[in-house]
């Protein structure tokens, strides 16, 4: 399955990635994409950029090398109340926002009930467009409930290629992702395929994600980033207009 925009990538600004914004955009053009989302880790992630980085995103051109750029963030979900580590006033100004669980940042209980609660709460946030790598078994979730809430709130659930690598560090990702895809298919909830690239050559590399989507016989019409325009129309923040 081809994608026209990679919705989850990081540059040097995230602190543990390896390329500049221009290098990432140039590689996206070389790979034939139409769009690229730059989603730097938000401030509670150790080593990432300061809040000033996100406050200054207005200065970044939204087109480079013919690639449409969506400038945003990968937020940290902090607790079961669904709190994140950037203010609403700032999220409103971004083009896209992912919210994810990360072990250095999540401060709540890691039971299925509490993790599911955290996801459901953050999906109510009108400026959280995507839930990032909800496949991680270290943060167990009820995928039926996630899919129902995703459909209701117009939140996209991510199939994260990095999670699915044989060398990946997240837990039970294939099994959990298949459960999520089954639930999304039943509920009619939309997904995105994200590379979670931290290096330019990995942009749009969704090999493992695409294989799993095919294995699940998941309908392409529910894959939001199979086209750039479809993705933009599917972002929750754009549905408000």
How many other β-carbons are positioned within 10 Å of the β-carbon of residue 226? 17
Residues in the chain: 241
Q: What's the pLDDT at 240? A: 61
- From first to last of its 241 residues, the chain has per-residue pLDDT tens of 789 999 999 999 999 999 999 999 999 999 999 999 999 999 999 999 999 999 999 999 999 999 999 999 999 999 999 999 999 999 999 999 999 999 999 999 999 999 999 999 999 999 999 999 999 999 999 999 999 999 999 999 999 999 999 999 999 999 999 999 999 999 999 999 999 999 999 999 999 999 999 999 999 999 999 999 999 999 999 986 4
Residues 132, 102, 33: CA angle, nearest 5 degrees: 35
* Whether this model's pTM surpasses 0.95: yes
d(Cα 194, Cα 176) in Å, to the nearest integer? 16
Q: What's the pLDDT at 2? A: 87
Residues 227 and 7 sit within 8 Å (Cβ to Cβ): no
Q: Tell me whether strands 67-76 and 35-41 are parallel, antiparallel or unpaired.
A: parallel
Residues 28 and 67 sit within 8 Å (Cβ to Cβ): yes
Q: What's the pLDDT at 1? A: 77
d(Cα 45, Cα 206) in Å, to the nearest integer? 24
**Cβ neighbours for 40, distance < 8 A, ≥ 6 positions apart:** 10, 11, 13, 14, 48, 49, 53, 54, 73, 74
Reported as a single tens digit per residue, the pLDDT across 33-88 is 999 999 999 999 999 999 999 999 999 999 999 999 999 999 999 999 999 999 99
Domains contained in the chain, CATH given: 5-239 (3.20.20.140)
- What DSSP element (H or E) covers 232? helix 228-234
* Cα first-last separation, the chain: 30
d(Cα 213, Cα 207) in Å, to the nearest integer? 10
With both helix axes pointing from N to C terminus, report the angle between 112-123 and 143-153 in degrees, rounded to the nearest 10: 10
- Phi/psi for 36 (5° steps) reads -150, 125
Listed residue (162, 135, 158) closest to 225, CA to CA: 158
């Amino acid at each position: 399955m081809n994608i026209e925009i990679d919705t989850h990538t990081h540059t040097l600004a995230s602190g543990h990635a390896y390329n500049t914004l221009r290098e990432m955009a140039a590689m996206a053009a070389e790979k034939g994409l139409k769009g690229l989302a730059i989603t730097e880790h938000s401030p509670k992630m150790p080593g990432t950029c300061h809040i000033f980085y996100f406050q200054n995103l207005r200065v970044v051109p939204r087109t480079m090398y013919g690639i449409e750029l969506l400038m945003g963030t990968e937020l940290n979900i902090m607790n079961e109340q669904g709190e994140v580590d950037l203010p609403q006033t700032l999220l409103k100004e971004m083009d896209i926002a992912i919210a994810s669980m990360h072990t250095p940042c999540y401060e709540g209980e890691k039971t299925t009930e509490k993790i599911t609660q955290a996801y459901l709460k953050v999906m109510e946030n009108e400026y959280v467009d995507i839930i990032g790598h909800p496949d991680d078994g270290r943060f167990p979730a009820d995928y039926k409930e996630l899919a129902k809430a995703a459909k209701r709130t117009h939140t996209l659930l991510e199939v994260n290629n990095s999670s699915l690598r044989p060398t990946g560090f997240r837990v039970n990702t294939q099994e959990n992702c298949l459960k999520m895809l089954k639930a999304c298919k039943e509920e009619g909830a939309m997904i995105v395929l994200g590379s979670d690239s931290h290096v330019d050559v990995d942009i749009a590399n969704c090999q493992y994600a695409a294989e799993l989507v095919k294995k699940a016989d998941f309908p392409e019409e529910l894959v939001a980033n199979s086209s750039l325009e479809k993705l933009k129309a599917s972002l929750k923040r754009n549905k408000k207009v």
